[in-house]
Each structure stands twice: as C-alpha cells, then as structure tokens.
Amino acid sequence: MTTTPVLTERDGAIGRITLNRPESMNAITVEMGSHLEQAIRALGNDPAIHVVLIRGAGGNFCVGGDFREVERLRGEGRHSLQALFDNFSHACAAISEVEAPVVVAVEGNAMAGGFELMLAADIALVHEAARLADNHANFGQIPGGGSSQRLPRLVGRQRALGLILSGERLTGAQAAQWGLAYRSLPADSFDEAVESFVAALAAKSRAAAVTTKRVVYAGLEEPLKRGLQIESDAVVEFIAGDAGAAGIAQFKDRGA
C-alpha cells in the first residue's frame, strides 16, 4: 500500500503538515524531503495562512534518515545519495524563507534529522518527555541536516560539540532550558497546549507576523547596528501602511 509521506491541511488560518510514515517513526526519505519542502512553501506563502504547524504521525516526530533508503542510495552512487540530503536541507531552509511562522510540535523521538528539523523551526514546542538527540555519532556518522551549523548558533560551540560528539539525549524540558525550544509542555495537556498556542498565533495580524519574522532573520545575518536599522526602516514602513493603520485604530479603540 502506497501512502503519502507528508499530509497537508488548511484549517482556517492554520496550515497543518503531518510527517506520515508512522511505521518507520517518520524516517526521512528522498520523497518525504521533497514533499515536505513543497508543503512548507505552499502553506507558508498562502495569504490565508497565518501559522504553519508541523507534527509527526503515530506519536513520534521524526527519527532522521531512513537507513534502508540510505543503504539503497549508497549502492546507486553519490548523485542518488546527494538527493536525500539536498531535499531535506531544502525543506529545512524553506522554513525561514516562507512568510508565515512555522511551529513544530515535537513528541516521542526526534533524532538526527528529526532533531535538525526542530532546530530549523521558527518556534518549537516540545513534549516534556520527548527524546531528542543528534545521535549521528552513535552510528559512526556525522550530521547532514544542519546540526553542525544551526546548533552552535543556538547554544554555543561547547554545548553543540558536546551534544553532537556524545550523541547524548535531551528531554523536552532540557531542550527548553537550553533554548532549543520555546516551551516544554506537560504530558497531560500537550495536544491542548499546542492547539491553544497556534490558535493564538493564527488570530493575530498576519502582516505583522510576516514582517517581524522577515526582520528577525535579516538581522541575524548582520551586525547589531545594521540590524537595528533594518528594524527601524521596517517599522516606519509598516506603520505608514494599511496594516499598521489598522493596528493603531484597534489599539485606540481598546484604550477608549
């Protein structure tokens, strides 16, 4: 039976993406990487979508590359193997490139590529008992989905190298303490808390969220002085436009 490796749904202002290979704990294939990028770009740039939520089917987020597929691709040669990493890398990169904020809800296992997908997210919400690791070292491998670059930028060189080289696991609670996730959520209310959070984002101004996300990512590539100028230019342009005017009117009405 053939199943679609990535499911998408438009639910009002929320775009939903589900990694859909539960029988393999949502392990990444060439096809999944390609479908994931397409889904992120389609929903994230849809003017009707205010926030995109990515989850895994079957109680796990993603355990990384499908080793059976990796072995098959190795036999076909470097060109075939490159497609696996290119497709997944493009999917991760799409998160910062689309307009709408992309939230991942992580439960169960998020290993190797699954961990790297979490690192790429705009916002990560993690189950307090989730099992998280860049565990490439445990199999004599090296990261290929962004850990060597994103992780040091998020937690610093010491913690990044320690985590990558040891292959040690983190819980969801530890990930939040390290700054790898926005919030660790309790087991007994995980689903409800995720839905409440994305619903709150979806109810806010899309224009404001899109501009804020763009400014944050642009500033990360620049020295602080230039980043502050990017913000200043953006806020003046925003307030001078229709979206900014609507927000000011709303604020005035609330204060009246």
Q: Cα 98–125–156 angle (5° rounding)?
A: 80
In 3D space, the residue among 193, 162, 190 whose CA is nearest the CA of residue 178 turns out to be 162
What pLDDT does 1 receive?
A: 47
In 3D space, the residue among 18, 1, 95 whose CA is nearest the CA of residue 57 turns out to be 18
DSSP state of 25: T
What pLDDT does 242 receive?
A: 76
pTM value is 0.93
Alpha carbon distance 108, 121 (integer Å): 17
Max intra-chain CA distance, the chain: 70
What phi, psi does 169 have (nearest 5°)?
-95, 150
What pLDDT does 209 receive?
A: 97
Residues of the chain with pLDDT under 70: 1-2, 244-256
In 3D space, the residue among 88, 79, 139 whose CA is nearest the CA of residue 116 turns out to be 88
- At 8, list the tokens: 């998408």
